[in-house]
């Protein structure tokens, strides 16, 4: 186990030793650090620190846990000339991400209709395994979708311009090139536009349970008791296949014998393969944006049937698993770097041009989903994050218990019952998937968020509590 040095409260350093190019930094409380130490997270932080061109530090955040190659809850930025881009640093579920919709309803308005809501949303939005989409498109249209993401879906009449304007990258990564996405990946994706998928993905109707910063909440258009809807899903089979394809191509090109872990395979950012992966990854990112745009449209349709006067607007939409070229200050100098966020959220402070006009004065909304049935949070990005974490913060609670252990320890039926007792209606693809996602299988979201708030890499704005959960 690598030795950690405490730097200050919530900050630990993994000193630079051996082949490490930079130190590792872990931002966590003592309690969360103890959970992090139980698996291979720290070893993976160390491995990432050995990659060429890595800048400042290999970073793990308070929700970190073991991934494959790179840890989940990890941030690593690379020099554009000397650095690398790695599919393992992004993850298989490219742009696994979160969108929050604001409504003009109050908690009181929906309490008596929770069961109807859960049934309607579950029926309309395919979730779980094997339920394909009713959103049918041709391969030619799929290429358009991969090029322009959520903007393509809006152009087809499913949503409004404001929907994608309130999305990271305005719902479209400009470097997307569908020619770099394999036929296999397209075949996997074509029937999955507008599907939630399975695993930790979900759709929740929530209410604003508490507000920590009134002024910023107002700027985000949030008030106490307000009903909001959270969509958590990704790029489905298309993204998974893009990751898989490029891992294989990079292995063929560069070999993996010198790597401490085969999943750390990478290519120089400036190489042909590095560029190809980036352009394919952008397509997968756009697929995920489009996916959530279709789901948003269906949520609007279903909710309007139940609440004819409802108004639904996109608050914001953020990416979790992504590599991006962004401007950051390194050694006192501004430079473009390639930031890998794997299970991490961008957290830009006020003023950054990438933030939509409406939020630029206060900072970017940061959306943190809790585990199923527990609280979720809305935070705001900060300048401090730029200094410490290449403008990144946590992405969720982070697992502590394996899925297999969860299935052994919990029963889906009982989870549904106990959630129902505290006023949360749940519907899932299977009892097993409910048991896998038992709230107890995750770290304490309140503590995870407290750490990043104390560190100042994002500040608490509002806490959300679920009323209705549709589980993938």
Which residues lie near another protein (CB under 8 A)? 38-39, 65-69, 72, 91-93, 128-130, 184, 187-188, 191-192, 197-199, 237, 240-241, 243-244, 247-248, 251-252, 261-263, 265, 399-405, 407-408, 411-412, 429-433, 435-436, 472
CB of 298 to another protein, least distance (A): 20
DSSP notation for 67-78 = -SSSPEEEEEEE
Residue 407 CB, nearest approach to another protein (Å): 6
Name the residue nearer to another protein (CB basis): 17 or 34. Answer: 34
The three-state secondary structure class of 50 is coil
CB of 129 to another protein, least distance (A): 4
In whole angstroms, the minimum distance from the beta carbon of 103 to another protein comes to 29
Is residue 246 classed as helix, strand or coil in its secondary structure? helix
Nearest of 34, 14, 33 to residue 24 by alpha carbon: 14
Contact 426, 349 (CB under 8 A): no
Helical spans, DSSP H, in 315-444: 357-360, 383-389, 403-409, 412-421, 431-436
Between 8 and 138, name the residue whose CB sits nearer to another protein: 138
Tell the smallest beta-carbon distance from residue 250 to another protein (Å). Answer: 11
Rounded Cα distance, 341 and 445, in Å: 19
Q: Which of 325, 298, 324 is nearest to 312 (CA)?
A: 298
Catalytic residue among 201, 297, 340, 395: 395
Angstrom distance (rounded) from CA 281 to CA 275: 10
Contact between residue 160 and residue 154 where contact means Cβ atoms under 8 Å apart: yes
Total residues belonging to the chain: 472
Nearest to 287 by CA among 202, 122, 171, 174: 171
Helices within 225-271 (DSSP H only): 236-254
Q: Are 85 and 247 in contact (CB under 8 A)?
A: no
Q: Beta strands 24-27 and 58-65: pairing type? A: parallel
Is 240 or 300 the residue whose CB approaches another protein more closely? 240
User: Least distance in Å: CB of 186 to another protein?
Assistant: 10
- Residues facing residue 335 across a β-bridge: 328
Asked about 232 being catalytic, the answer comes back as: no
Beta strands 312-319 and 97-106 are antiparallel
The catalytic residues are 395
């Amino acid at each position: 186990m690598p030795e950690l040095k405490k730097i200050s409260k919530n900050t630990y350093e993994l000193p630079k030793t051996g082949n490490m190019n930079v130190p590792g930094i872990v931002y966590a409380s003592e309690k969360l650090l103890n959970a992090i130490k139980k698996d291979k997270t720290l070893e993976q932080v160390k491995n990432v620190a050995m990659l060429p061109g890595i800048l400042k530090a290999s970073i793990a955040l308070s929700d970190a846990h073991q991934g494959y190659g790179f840890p989940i809850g990890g941030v690593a930025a690379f020099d554009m000339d000397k650095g690398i881009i790695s599919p393992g640093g992004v993850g298989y579920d490219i742009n696994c991400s979160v969108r929050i919709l604001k409504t003009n309803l109050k908690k009181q308005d929906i309490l008596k209709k929770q069961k109807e809501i859960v049934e309607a949303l579950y029926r309309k939005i395919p979730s779980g395994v094997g339920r394909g989409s009713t959103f049918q498109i041709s391969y030619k249209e799929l290429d358009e979708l991969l090029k322009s993401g959520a903007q393509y879906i809006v152009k087809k009449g499913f949503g409004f311009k404001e929907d994608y304007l309130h999305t990271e990258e305005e719902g479209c990564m400009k470097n997307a090139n569908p020619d770099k996405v394999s036929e296999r990946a397209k075949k996997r994706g074509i029937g999955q536009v507008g599907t939630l998928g399975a695993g930790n993905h979900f759709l929740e109707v929530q209410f604003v349970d508490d507000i920590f910063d009134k002024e910023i909440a107002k700027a985000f258009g949030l008030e106490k008791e307000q009903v909001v809807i959270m969509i958590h899903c990704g790029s489905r089979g298309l993204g998974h296949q893009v990751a898989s394809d490029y891992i294989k191509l990079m292995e063929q090109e560069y070999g993996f014998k010198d790597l401490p872990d085969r999943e750390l395979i990478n290519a120089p950012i400036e190489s042909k393969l590095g560029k190809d992966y980036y352009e394919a990854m952008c397509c997968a990112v756009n697929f995920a944006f489009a996916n959530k745009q279709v789901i948003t449209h269906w949520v609007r349709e279903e909710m309007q049937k139940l609440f004819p006067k409802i108004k639904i607007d996109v608050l914001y939409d953020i990416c979790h698993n992504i590599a991006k070229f962004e401007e950051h200050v390194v050694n006192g100098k501004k430079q473009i770097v390639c930031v890998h966020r794997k299970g991490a959220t961008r957290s830009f402070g006020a003023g950054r041009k990438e933030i939509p006009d409406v939020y630029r004065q206060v900072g970017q909304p940061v959306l943190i989903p809790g585990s199923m049935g527990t609280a979720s949070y809305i935070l705001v990005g900060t300048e401090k994050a730029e200094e410490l974490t290449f403008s990144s913060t946590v992405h969720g609670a982070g697992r502590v218990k394996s899925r297999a252990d969860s299935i052994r320890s919990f029963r889906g039926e009982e989870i549904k019952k106990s959630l129902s007792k505290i006023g949360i209606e749940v519907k899932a693809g299977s009892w097993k998937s409910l048991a896998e996602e038992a709230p107890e299988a995750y770290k304490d979201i309140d503590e995870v968020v407290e750490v990043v708030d104390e560190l100042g890499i994002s500040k608490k704005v509002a806490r959300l509590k679920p009323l209705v959960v549709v589980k993938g």
